[in-house]
A = this chain, B = another copy of it.
Amino acid sequence: MNLDFTYFENGIGRISGQLPGMPQDRVVLNRLFFYVFKELDDVYNQHLSEFGLNSSTFLALAMILSSEDNRLNPSHLSDALIASRTNVTRLADDLVGSGWVSRKPCTQDRRRVELSLTPSGRKLILTVLPVIWQRIEQQWIDFSPAEITEFDRLLRKMLEGLRRFRMAS
């Protein structure tokens, strides 16, 4: 996959020359965001495939690990992963099939299901997490703590703007 942002920038520059009123810096920003996301997603999946995982399965295992008492409902997982419940059902099928997660009915609320890490799933995620963390440190190595903080602030501000905007429309 070719990720040369100049294709887009050149095009947008030509349009801006023809049509008035383009907020060019913000148009570029939105599109740049898309490019960076693609790259981030690719790099993550590349790393995780070494362990037979992908973004979804990795994060699911990590979220179950982080749960109280090693138990998590599919619905909660759906919220944490920003994935549909449909997809989490399938994800759980896969994780159970791989022997990393067990699925048991919940006794308190019989509509619910409880997902738990098996010993093998726990071992896997405890092996993978430090490796991924090390790579994330590498990824951000050129950023100062102040830049990290500022980036975080800007992303949250962008998120708020988008949410307020979505409500408005």
Which residues of A approach B to under 8 Å, CB–CB?
A: 1-5, 7-8, 10-12, 14-15, 19, 21-23, 25-30, 32-44, 46-47, 62-63, 65-67, 76, 78-80, 82, 84, 126, 129-130, 133, 135-143, 145, 147-152, 154-163, 165-166, 168-169
Contacts and interface: CB of A to CB of B under 8 A. Distances in A.
- Majority DSSP secondary structure for residues of A touching B: helix
B33 A155 contact: yes
Given A43-B166, A151-B154, A154-B154, 12 more contacts: A23-B137, A30-B44, A33-B155, A34-B37, A35-B82, A35-B159, A36-B162, A39-B162, A43-B165, A138-B168, A147-B154, A147-B157
A151 B29 contact: yes
A107 to B, nearest CB: 24
Contacts of A2: 78-79, 82
Most buried by B among A28, A47, A135, A157: A157
A155 B44 CA distance: 17
A10 B135 CA distance: 22
Nearest to A136: B26
- Nearest 3 A-B pairs (CB), nearest first? A11-B66, A7-B80, A37-B37
A127 to B, nearest CB: 12
A7 to B, nearest CB: 4
Given A66-B11, A79-B7, A136 B27 contact: yes
A10 to B, nearest CB: 8
A19 B38 CA distance: 29
